[in-house]
Homo-oligomer: A and B are copies of this chain.
Amino acid sequence: MLESDLHAHIRELTAGMSGSFPRVLLGPGDDCAVIRTDSRSVLTVDQVVEGRHFSPGTPIDLVARKAVARSISDLAAMACRPVCALATGLLPSGYRHARELTERLHHWANHWSCPIVGGDIATSPAGTPLSLTVTALGGLREDEPPVTRAGARAGDEVYVTGALGGSLASGRHLAFEPRVADALWLRATLGTDLTSMIDLSDGLGRDGARIAVASGVIVRVDAASLPLHAGTAGWQDAVGDGEDYELLFTVRRSLGSPARSPCGTPVTRVGRVVAVGSDRSTGACVVHLPDGTVIDASEMGWDHA
Residues of A within 8 A of B (CB): 1-4, 25-26, 29-47, 49, 51-53, 74-75, 77-78, 80, 84, 86-88, 90, 117-125, 128-129, 131, 133, 135, 137-138, 140, 146, 148-150, 197-199, 214, 303-305
Q: Which of B31, B75, B125 contacts A78 (CB 8 A)?
A: B31
- For A70, the closest partner residue in chain B by CB is B120
> Is B43 within 8 A of A137, CB to CB?
yes
On chain B, the residues within 8 Å of A117 by CB distance are: 43
Contact of A120 among B4, B31, B46 (CB under 8 A): B46
Copies of the chain in the assembly: 2
* Separation of A245 and B134 alpha carbons in the complex (Å): 25
**A31 partner, pick from B39, B44, B305, beta carbons under 8 A:** B44
CA of A2 to CA of B304, assembled, Å? 7
* Interface pair A30/B148, CB less than 8 Å apart: yes
Q: Is the interface of A mostly helix, strand, loop or mixed?
A: strand
Alpha-carbon distance between A274 and B242 when the two chains are bound, in angstroms: 59
Return chain B residues, CB-CB under 8 Å to A119: 45
Query: Which 7 A-B residue pairs are closest in the complex by CB-CB distance?
Result: A31-B77, A45-B86, A32-B44, A135-B135, A37-B41, A37-B37, A128-B128
A74–B32 touching, CB < 8 Å: yes
Which B-chain residue is minimally distant from A49 (CB atoms)?
Answer: B122
Per the bound structure, the CA–CA distance linking A138 and B35 in Å amounts to 10
